[in-house]
Amino acid sequence: MEYIDYYKVLGVKKDATEAEIKKAYRKLARKHHPDINPDAKDAEKKFQQINEANQVLSDPENRKKYDKYGKDWKHAEEFEKAGQQRQYSSGGPAGGFGGGGNFSGGDFSDFFESMFGGGASSFGGASSGSRGGSRQFKGQDFQAEMRLELREVYETHKRTITVNGKTIRLTIPAGVADGQAIKIPGYGGEGANGGPKGDLFLTFTIDNRTSFQRDGDNLYATVDIDLYKAVLGGEITVDTFDGKVKLKVPSGTQNSTKVKLKGKGFPVYKKEGSFGDLYLTYQVLIPSELTEKQKELFTELANLSAS
Amino acid sequence: MNTESLVPVTVLCTHYRVEMSFFSNLEEIGLVELESIEETQYIPSGKIGEVEKIIRMQQDLNLNLEAIDVVFNLLDKVNGLQNELHSVRQRLRIYES
């Protein structure tokens, strides 16, 4: 447990006035409020710290105690027992803030609890951002990330994950997109004052280590064909995501020609049996090292074409 | 709309300790849409999370409803831009490889 410099948290001087503290708190709260920063993973923690600093510094009695014992928080209780007149006992007036004006309810730093004895109940409605004691709020929504390989999301499969000590068995539907988030209700933070639990939002990061590029449900790939097949036509075998297929290359195929293989793309999310398309781009390979005979024949061809 | 997914506004007023006028103001500003069935006003249960967000922003940040509306609009915009950026990055990868 570490000493928290609440003045530093709010960015104010030790002799800051109440108005200065209020102003600093409001400014930081607006910047770091978790509802304003839904994607910032540490927003709640940061906001909690700001809130906690405000709870202490905006209340003259708590601020006095903090200023007096702050750095010696480990001995604060002993000092109190040793004859301090002022009492900061628990069980303050009813209607203290519920959950410190934050989301997961009563989640204070160890330092705070050590100084002020167990969070909310020690304060008698100290906070300007306080909430009614028994008002229920849904718990905070949690964010989690899952990394999967592109090959893994080609088929629907089951996964077991552990989030905050809870094991969740999930069915991951084929076709999940990179960056897609799914909501798992009831696996978020505990509600405040008996409110419902929050939800878990799981965001998928799909790593692609294949030779295919994915755009939505469609796949893209480049296929090399030799010059002779491009000129004369023929048959080639190409890789698709789920196996090989034979393709006819028409004579006179140009470099960068695109071919669409219908239904050979990626599975469409939650539409079983439905697939995107595969787009192949032909890259015609020009021979770089010719034998004397080949050179002779190419020259003959060139002369024929010129005449 | 299915009435099962509606919650009476009076229940929410008691629960969150807010006046009925709070919900009227929300509706007036366009932050929520209330449904009236036989003189009782309801709110879709799916919107409760948003209402809680509004209450938190009001209490924690002292924002008025107009400002909250602006925040919601900007957050929607940010979200849309993030999605677009993500999709553009994905497309770019196709051409870069």
Residues A101 and A202: their CA atoms lie apart, in Å, by 26
Q: Does the pLDDT at position A131 exceed 60?
A: no
Pairing mode of beta strands A278-285, B6-8 = unpaired
Pairing type for strands A200-207 and A181-184 reads: antiparallel
Nearest to A245 by CA among A269, A221, A228: A221
CA distance A259 to chain B (A): 16
pLDDT at B5: 81
B90 in contact with A, Cβ within 8 Å: yes
Best interface-test mutation with A: which of B16, B60, B84, B88 has the largest number of A CBs within 10 A? B60
pLDDT of residue A45: 82
Chain A positions touching B15 (Cβ under 8 A) are 135-136
Chain mean pLDDT for chain B:
86
CA distance B35 to chain A (A): 23
* CA pair distance A69, A88, nearest whole angstrom: 13
Query: What distance in Å separates residue B91's CA from the closest CA in chain A?
Result: 6
Compute the mean pLDDT over every residue in chain A, rounded to the nearest whole number.
80
Q: d(Cα A288, Cα A155) in Å, to the nearest integer?
A: 42
ipTM: 0.71
Q: Which of residues 11-30 of B touch A (CB under 8 A)?
A: 15-17
Model confidence at A281, in pLDDT bands (50, 70, 90)?
Answer: very high
Residue showing tokens 């280590």: A209
Q: Please, which pLDDT band fits residue A235 given cuts at 50, 70 and 90?
A: very high
Q: Which chain B residue is nearest to residue A31, measuring alpha carbons?
A: B61
How big is chain A by its Cα radius of gyration, in Å? 33
Sequence-ordered alpha helix ranges (H) in chain B: 9-16, 20-29, 48-61, 65-96
Cα–Cα distance measured from residue A158 to residue A167, given in angstroms and rounded to the nearest whole number: 13
Region of A106 on the Ramachandran plot (φ > 0 left; ψ -120 to 50 alpha; else beta): left
What 3-state DSSP class applies to A131?
coil
Of residues B87 and A102, the one with the higher pLDDT is B87
Residues of chain A in contact with residue B60, where contact means CB-CB under 8 angstroms, are: 29, 33, 51, 101, 129
B77 touching A (Cβ < 8 Å): no
Contact residues, chain B, for A38 at CB < 8 Å: 75
Residues of B with Cβ-Cβ distance to A26 under 8 angstroms? 61-62
Which residues of B fall within a CB distance of 8 Å from A201? none
Put simply, the answer to whether A215 touches B90 (Cβ < 8 Å) is yes
Give pLDDT tens digits for A139-181. 777 888 899 999 999 999 999 888 777 888 889 999 999 989 8
Q: Which residue(s) pair with A161 in the sheet?
A: A168
Supply the pTM of this predicted model. 0.54
Instruction: Kindly determine whether residue A220 and residue B94, on different chains, have CB atoms separated by under 8 Å.
Output: yes
Question: What pLDDT shows up at residue A109?
Answer: 67
Instruction: Sheet with A218-226: list strands edge to edge.
Output: A213-215, A218-226, A278-285, A258-261
